[in-house]
Amino acid sequence: MSEAVNKKKVIFSGIQPTGTFTLGNYIGAVRNWGPLQEEYDCIYSIVDMHALTVKRDPVKFRQQTIESYALLLACGIDPNKSIAFIQSHNPSHAQLNWILACSTQFGELSRMTQFKDKSKKHPDDVNAGLFTYPVLMAADILAYNADLVPIGADQKQHLELARNIAVRFNQRFGDMFTVPEPYIPKVGAKVMSLQEPTKKMSKSDENQNAVILILDDKDTIIRKFKRAVTDSEAVVKYADGKDGINNLITIYSAVTGKSVAEIESEFDGKGYGDFKLAVGETVADHLAPVRDNFARLLADRNYLKECYTEGAQRAFKLSNRVISKAHRKVGFVDYR
Ligand code: TYM
């Protein structure tokens, strides 16, 4: 990645280190990040500061952050092609967060559906960080003047807010930030729970049968798919009201690259049992290299540390220029 003459478009995305990535994280976001490295200047972050909005055990949190970083590399992020770092290692995010918070309205943050959902889920800890979370997310993106942000559908509202903040800041202080575009996959932008297929698949689901973790072993993956909630029709067809089957077709399509029509004809005359088994086996085989890479990477803590340390230094070099410019724009006194 050339940091001096930066002609390629810039990509930024992040994922919270709140446990093993789910199949939703993977299909909706992370697996698309690797291929983008060939065409863009990519910056990927394990966003530990975002994860702090929910109470965590510090020892477990530290371990999960390192594991998530290893998992990011295991999913094909090459630290020589991209900048891969841990968010809290680059102070620019917190700095820009404050400046952008002063260009964000209380009303717009109150409308964020994720805030509403999470405050319902953790009524005993509706902290200010949870409320201002989308401002930090805007800072992550705008600190690198990212052009594109590859995300799943559930992050679209936050991205919209980041765009509004960028536009507002530019109008008030003069051109400063690139207004980022979402990059949402056509297939698999919202992978649903295997147990309640009208809800998105989520790491925090209490029912572990609802969630495929990308480090689950083959038997576990197959077992979870076998138990997936479907309907009583027993026809593998994508149709309104068949949320469970639609989700399995989407997953199978995302992993195999086959179209819905191809999948319907492949399973024509076959029952749900055969279909679920095929989805389970295909997903497990697809994820096998990720599991192997992860085990290898996690065994080499020194290498991981070298990668995230260098990643943070490179990230800071880029974002610090943006911060200096933002400071000048808002009228802070220059001291260097
Ligand atoms: P997080 O950690 O919840 O999820 C990481 C990515 O996975 C996508 N995703 C899904 N996609 C499809 N189906 C699902 N069931 C599913 N569940 C999750 C998410 O859309 C996301 O792209 N706020 C972000 C992290 C973040 C960020 C950023 C992202 C912080 N700063 C800046 C982009 C740019 C989040 O909590 O993602």
Domain ranges of the chain: 3-188+301-330, 208-294
**Binding-site residues, ligand 1, Cβ < 6 A:** 12-16, 24-25, 28-29, 47, 50, 137, 140-141, 149, 151-152, 154-155, 158, 189-191, 200-201
Asked if residue 21 lies in contact with residue 53, where contact means CB atoms within 8 angstroms, the answer is: no
Q: Residue 46 — φ and ψ, nearest 5°?
A: -85, 110
CA of 244 to the centre of ligand 1 (A): 22
Q: Residue 7 — φ and ψ, nearest 5°?
A: -95, -30
Alpha carbon separation from 96 to 32, 250, 319 (Å, rounded): 27, 38, 9
Number of other residues whose CB lies within 10 A of the CB of residue 44:
29
Thinking of the domain 3-188+301-330, which architecture would CATH place it in?
3-Layer(aba) Sandwich (3.40)
Asked if residue 208 lies in contact with residue 214, where contact means CB atoms within 8 angstroms, the answer is: no
Question: How is residue 18 written in tokens?
Answer: 């709140």
Question: How is residue 106 written in tokens?
Answer: 């209380």
How far apart, in whole angstroms, are the C-alpha atoms of residue 293 and residue 296?
5
Residue range 208-294, CATH number = 1.10.240.10
Residue in 114, 154, 186 to alter for ligand 1 test, most ligand atoms within 8 A of Cβ: 154
CA of 28 to the centre of ligand 1 (A): 8
pTM score: 0.96
Helix (H, G, I), strand (E, B) or coil at 24: helix
Question: How is residue 19 written in tokens?
Answer: 């446990």
Q: Do domains 3-188+301-330 and 208-294 have the same CATH topology?
A: no
How far apart, in whole angstroms, are the C-alpha atoms of residue 193 and residue 210?
5
How far apart, in whole angstroms, are the C-alpha atoms of residue 231 and residue 17?
34
Which amino acids are annotated catalytic? 118, 200, 203
Q: 250 Cβ partners below 8 Å, 6+ apart?
A: 187, 188, 191
Q: What's the sign of the alpha-carbon dihedral 254, 256, 262, 267?
A: negative
Residue in 49, 83, 97, 151 to alter for ligand 1 test, most ligand atoms within 8 A of Cβ: 151
Q: Residue 7: what pLDDT?
A: 82
Q: Residue 335: what pLDDT?
A: 84
- Of ligand 1's listed atoms, the one at least distance from the Cα of 189 is 12
Q: Residue 19: what pLDDT?
A: 87
- Of ligand 1's listed atoms, the one at least distance from the Cα of 47 is 30
pLDDT in tens, the chain (336 residues): 545 555 899 999 999 999 899 999 999 999 999 999 999 999 999 999 999 999 999 999 999 999 999 999 999 999 999 999 999 999 999 999 999 999 999 999 999 999 999 999 889 999 999 999 999 999 999 999 999 999 999 999 999 999 999 999 999 999 999 999 999 999 999 999 999 999 999 998 999 999 999 999 999 999 999 999 999 998 999 999 999 999 999 999 999 999 999 999 999 999 999 999 999 999 999 999 999 999 999 999 999 999 999 999 999 999 999 999 999 999 999 987
